[in-house]
Chains A and B, each alone.
Chain A
Amino acid sequence: MSKRELISGNEACALGALASGLRFFGGYPISPSSEISEILSSRLPRAGGVFVQMEDEMASLGSVIGASLGGLRAMTATSGPGFTLMQEHLGYASLAEIPCLVVDVMRVGPSTGVPTAPSQGDVMQARWGSHGDRGTVALSPASVEEVYNLTVHAFNIADRLRTPVVLMFDEVIGHMREGVELSPPAPEDLWGRPRPAGAPGPDFRAYAPNEQGVAQLPAFGDGYRFHVTGLFHDERGYPTTNPDLVRQALERLERKLDPIPAWLPPEKYHMTDADFVYVAYGAVSRVAREAVDRLREKGVAAGLYRPRVLWPVDEAALRKDLAKARTVVVAEMNRGQWVQVVSQALPPAIRVVSYGKTGGEPVTTDEMYGLAADLNLRSVKSS
Chain B
Amino acid sequence: MTTAKDLLRHEMMPHILCPGCGHGIVMNAMLRVLARRHQNLDKVALVAGIGCSSRIVGYVDANTLHTTHGRALTFATGLKLARPELEVIVVTGDGDGLGIGGNHLIHAARRNVDLTCILFNNETYGMTGGQLAPTTVKQAFTTTSPGGNTEPNFDAAVLAKAAGASFVARGQAYRPDVLEEVMERALDHRGFSFVEVMTDCTEYFGRKNALGLGSDLLFTQSRSDQEVSRDLADWPSLRTPQGWQVRETQPLGVLHEDRRPTFEESRGLPGYSEREV
Contact = CB atoms under 8 A, between A and B. Distances in A.
A41 B144 CA distance: 5
Given A56-B70, A56-B100, A112-B68, A42 B128 contact: no
Interface string A19-38: 00000000011110010011
Contact of B143 (A30, A34, A56): A34
Interface in B118-149: 125, 127-129, 131-132, 134, 143-147
A29 B128 contact: yes
A53 B147 contact: no
A30 B68 contact: no
A31 B99 CA distance: 16
B125 A29 contact: yes
A30 B69 CA distance: 10
Interface in B94-123: 95, 99-100, 102
A82 B13 CA distance: 30
A29 B68 contact: no
Contacts of B95: 29
A48 interface: no
Contacts of A41: 143-146
Contacts of A111: 68
B165 interface: no
B46 interface: no
Contacts of A56: 69-70, 99-100
A56 B134 CA distance: 11
Contacts of A31: 127-129
B50 interface: yes
A45, A55, A57, A111 interface centre (most CB from chain B within 10 Å): A55
Nearest to A30: B128
Given A42-B147, A53-B144, A55-B102, A81 B68 contact: yes
Contacts of A53: 131-132, 144
B146 A42 contact: yes
A37 B144 contact: yes
A305 interface: no
Contacts of B100: 28, 55-57
Nearest to A58: B100
A292 B142 CA distance: 46
A55 B131 contact: no
Contacts of A45: 147
Contacts of B66: 112
B129 A29 contact: yes
Interface string A111-130: 11000000000000000000
Nearest to B145: A41
Contact of A55 (B68, B99, B127, B128): B99
Interface string A261-288: 0000000000000000000000000000
A34 B145 contact: no
Given A31-B127, A56-B69, 18 more contacts: A28-B100, A29-B129, A29-B144, A31-B129, A34-B128, A34-B129, A37-B131, A37-B144, A38-B129, A38-B144, A41-B143, A41-B144, A45-B147, A51-B144, A55-B100, A56-B70, A56-B99, A57-B100
Top 6 A-B residue pairs of the complex, sorted by shortest distance between their CB atoms: A56-B100, A29-B128, A29-B131, A41-B144, A42-B146, A38-B143
30 contacts: A28-B99, A28-B100, A29-B95, A29-B125, A29-B131, A29-B144, A30-B128, A31-B127, A34-B129, A34-B131, A37-B131, A38-B131, A38-B143, A41-B144, A41-B145, A41-B146, A42-B146, A42-B147, A45-B147, A51-B144, A53-B132, A53-B144, A55-B134, A56-B69, A56-B99, A56-B100, A57-B100, A81-B68, A81-B69, A112-B68
